[in-house]
Structure 1
Amino acid sequence: MILVTGGTGLVGSHLLYKLIKENNTVRATYRRDKTLQRVKHVFSYFSADYELLFNKIEWVKADINNIPQLQLAFKNITYVYHCAAFVSFEPDKYKTLRKINIEGTANIVNLSISNGVKKLCYVSSIAAIGHKSNHNDLIDENTNWNPEEDNSVYAITKYGAELEVWRGTQEGLDAVIVNPGIILGGGYWNGGSSGSIFKKIYNGMSYYVTGVAGYVDVWDVVECMVQLMNDPVFNEKFILISENLSFKDFQIKAANILNVKAPKKEAKPWLLGLAWRLDWLNHKVFGRRRNLSKQAAKSMCTVTKYNNGKIKNILNFEFKTIDKSIEEVGNLYLKDLNRPN
């Protein structure tokens, strides 16, 4: 039996659809009942029989920091996809990020070892990959992580979670780690997911930013994960990106698909610097949630380019173009806008 943690998230829900469609026996964890509707919603994009497919999943209510709940979830499990995570770039969320991303992953690793799991796939992030001093150099899996850099709290905890997985491999666990770029997929239009970018562009954005990052389609992430679990490879990590693209180009492409105006004005580094400082001040004085951290502002005008050669060579894999992905996800957003409540 296969266990998927974080089954109600963007990657988890799409992974579950693929696994169920391929007639696997699957158990998935969730924390809140209302989040199960998200999975049904994603399934409904791709099948008229989404209720039937959804009901084939054995759902277990479990927090990844609740050991008794997890022990029940791990009964008779042979393969684990660990997708559960907390995504936030707010500095004041650091303790929560550590609790879920690092301590939670340690729990999954420990239970995988004690239950004799054959293989674990952990969904990390390119945020946990190091950077090059020359922005034109491609970042790959061997690029060293520098703890002295001004890393985001999210990146720090995802890197810490990877260390827990590597610790597990030293104790006999076979594992693979995937490091996706910005994941494009439908059904999650709020919060910290990439879908919220489509929502913001649709509602109107005045400014564009000029940084460069790696993007990947959610189905490519899922396909790579499944193939890696079925492949003899183990104790390796893989960057998953389709293309390196500027935020400006992404904003323009998405605006064209959504049939809205693209932003015309550049948000200069000094303006972003002012914005994150005002955001910090609002948080300190009025207690408002952080919307823009110092690290996020910096990344918006930083060029980071990634090399996807390792996964392409190992699996002979070809990624979906980002143009195609933007088109598909943008159309799903428009479809949801027109759905009756």
Structure 2
Amino acid sequence: MIFVTGGTGLVGSHLLFNLLQTGNKVRALKRPNSNMKAVIKSFSYYTDKAEELFQQIEWVEGDILDYHSLEDLLNGVTDVYHCAAMVSFHPNDHDSMLNNNVKGTANLIDAAIVNKVKRFCHISSIAALGKTQDGTLIDEETYWIPSKQKSAYSLSKFFSEMEVWRGIEEGVDAVIVNPSIILGPGNWDIGSPKLFQTIWKGLKYYTKGETGFVDVRDVVRAMAQLMEARTFEQVKNQRFILNAGNMSYQDFFNQIADALQRPRPKTFASDLILKIAWRAARLASFFSGKRPAITRETVSGSNNINHYNGSKIQRSIDFSYHPLNQTIVDIAQLFLQDVEQLTPGGHPKAKKASH
């Protein structure tokens, strides 16, 4: 029995699809208000039998902040995939995000210890890694250093990962994956999928920062392969950066624009412009009562250059990444498919993506 948290999110829904495709028995955690349609929608990008696959999941209601419910839900579970995490760059969410991500991970680790779970996979982030000062590639040994510039999300992912390392010391065998920016189709209003919608609507600005990107299909395939019984003994109690390649935001935006047949962003957003923008957004939110579209944390580092080394997993197991240019094209096709469903006749239908 496999237990999955965060099954309605971008990574979690793709992981569920991967696990079900290979015949696994899956129990997935959800909240009473979880968007189950998002999971079926995610499945539908890759199969015509989305509903049939969805029905094979044993959905259980619970909360990672409720330890006692987790202890019961992990009864009989052999493998745990921890994908649930709160993601926010709004300052008002600082404390709740730290509590949700860190305490939730601690609870899941403790429940895994009590239930003698055999294998535990934790999805962390490159936000839990340090930075290099000389421009060299950031790898699994580049350790996180506290600073006032760290986002609350970075703090939460670092301390969540520390709970997993604590669990390893207490007897849980685990693997940790640190993906770079995860690209995939899903809810076009949030996360990385929103970038496709934003460029579709006409993004005017670009930044000159550089960072790493990885296909969500590669992320879930890496997680599943690392957890396979025949390989787990060789890779357990290690962390793996998942990064298909490094790219500038300008090139990334341009490739999306080209794939969507939209104009490329033309105006460079300097650090000064970004500072003015987030302050203006904060002022506007004060009068509107709505959350600002951008914050200091969302634009922080937009012009910084950070390159990541995702080759360790390739040296450890038989694994390869999708080329980033193909990933962008695949997602763009699925976005256009969804646009056509909302506005019939707008674009030719996309073919099913390969998983």
Length-normalised TM-score, structure 1: 0.96
Matches within 5 A, 1:280-299: 280-283=282-285, 287-299=289-301
User: Alpha carbons of 1:131 and 1:285: their partners in 2 closer, same or farther (altered >3 Å)?
Assistant: farther
What SS does the aligned partner of 1:138 have? coil
Is contact 1:90-1:291 (8 Å) kept? no
Could you say which residue in structure 1 is the equivalent of 2:351? none
- Counterparts of 1:76-225 in structure 2 under 5 Å? 76-134=76-134, 136-191=135-190, 193-225=191-223
1:284 to partner: Cα distance: 5.2
**One-letter amino acid of the structure 1 residue matched with residue 160 of structure 2:** A
Q: Could you give the per-residue CA deviations for residues 195-231 of structure 1, whole angstroms, max 9, x where no partner exists?
A: 0111101011111111101000000000110111112
Question: Aligned with 1:205: secondary structure?
Answer: coil
RMSD over equivalenced CA pairs, Å? 1.5
Match of 1:313 among 305, 308, 315: 315
| Inter-partner Cα distance in structure 2 for 1:293 and 1:50 | 37
Equivalent positions of 1:21-100 (< 5 A) are: 21-100=21-100
Match of 1:302 in 2: 304
Amino acid of the structure 2 residue aligned with 1:20: L
Q: Does 1:250 align with 2:248?
A: no
Instruction: Tell me if the contact between 2:126 and 2:241 (Cα under 8 Å) persists in the aligned partners.
Output: yes
Work out the CA distance in 2 between the residues paired with 1:128 and 1:13: 23
Q: Structure 2: which 5+ residue stretches go unaligned? A: 344-355
Name the TM-score, length of structure 2 as normaliser.
0.92
Alignment CA distance shift 1:34-1:153 (3 Å): closer
State the identity as a percent. Answer: 42
Cα deviations by residue, 1:120-151 (Å, 9 ceiling, x for unpaired): 100111111111112x2111111121102510
Deviations 1:266-320 (A, max 9, x none): 1111101211222333455654314333233232110010011211111132111
Secondary structure at the counterpart of residue 338 of structure 1? helix
Partner Cα separation in structure 2 for residue 208 and residue 327 of structure 1: 19
8 Å CA contact 2:67, 2:108 repeated in 1:
no
| 1:103–1:34 distance in 2 versus 1, CA, 3 Å | closer
Q: Does residue 329 of structure 1 match 2:327?
A: no
Distance 1:265 1:279 in 2: 19
In structure 1, the residue matched to 2:7 is 7
- 8 Å Cα contact 2:8/2:34 also seen in 1: no
Distance 2:212 2:57 in 1: 32
Q: Distance in 1 between matches of 2:17 and 2:126?
A: 24
- One-letter identity of the residue aligned with 1:235: N
Unaligned runs of 5+ in 1: none
- Name the SS for the 2:45 alignment partner: helix
